[in-house]
Amino acid sequence: MQTLRVVCYVNQFFGQLGGEEKAGVGPQVMAGAVGSARAVQQALGAAGTVVATVLCGDNYIAEQPETAVAELLSLIAAQQPDLVLAGPAFLAGRYGVACGALCAAVQAQLKVPAVSGMHEENPGVELYRRQVHIVPTGGEATRMLDEVRRMVALGLKLVRQEPLGTPAAEGFFTRGITH
């Protein structure tokens, strides 16, 4: 199989721009794996390449979600990805909501599989679990690589259109869909 083109979405903190003082930064794209997206590249191995990392400040997307998601979609579409991975957002609420909104839009408008990761108490889980495959994570980034590996494994199955087992077997939150 051809090497997959993967785009990662991260917030200003995980994109290494800064903390709350950079939360107002607008959408931007950086070539390759930047910040926490490097863990995605490591987890992908030979299966794919992180061709770009798109990032946006938490406040920017929280204050103007429709505009920010549209801008991010444009940046992602230009990269022609086979898969989009957002986060993981852990317990960061604004980040989780942004990851969910972006993944839902990527799937609906670009027709590209998208996966995120969040702690069960992140508000993004309840808002987007029915639309987006969300991998459960811990509350903090202490096991980033392990949690990203689970996101990547699920994303690869979706891209390859392999049948999925139960949410418990595949490692994602239930989506309320009965087969």
- pLDDT tens digits, 97-111: 999 999 999 999 999
- Name the 3-class secondary structure at 37: helix
Positive or negative, the Cα torsion across 88, 90, 93, 94? negative
The pLDDT confidence band at residue 1, using thresholds 50, 70 and 90, is low
Peptide bond before residue 88 is cis, with ω within 30 degrees of 0: yes
pTM of the full predicted structure?
A: 0.95
pLDDT score for 140: 86
**Residues 60/42, Cβ–Cβ less than 8 Å:** no
59 token code pair: 């406040």
Give, to the nearest 10 degrees, the angle between helix 65-77 and helix 93-105.
Answer: 50
Residue (of 56, 88, 78) closest to 155 by Cα position = 88
First CA to last CA across the chain, in angstroms? 29
C-alpha distances out from residue 40 to 9, 10, 15, 65, 166, Å:
11, 11, 13, 25, 24
Rounded CA-CA distance 16/10 in Å is 9
pLDDT of 52 strictly over 80: yes
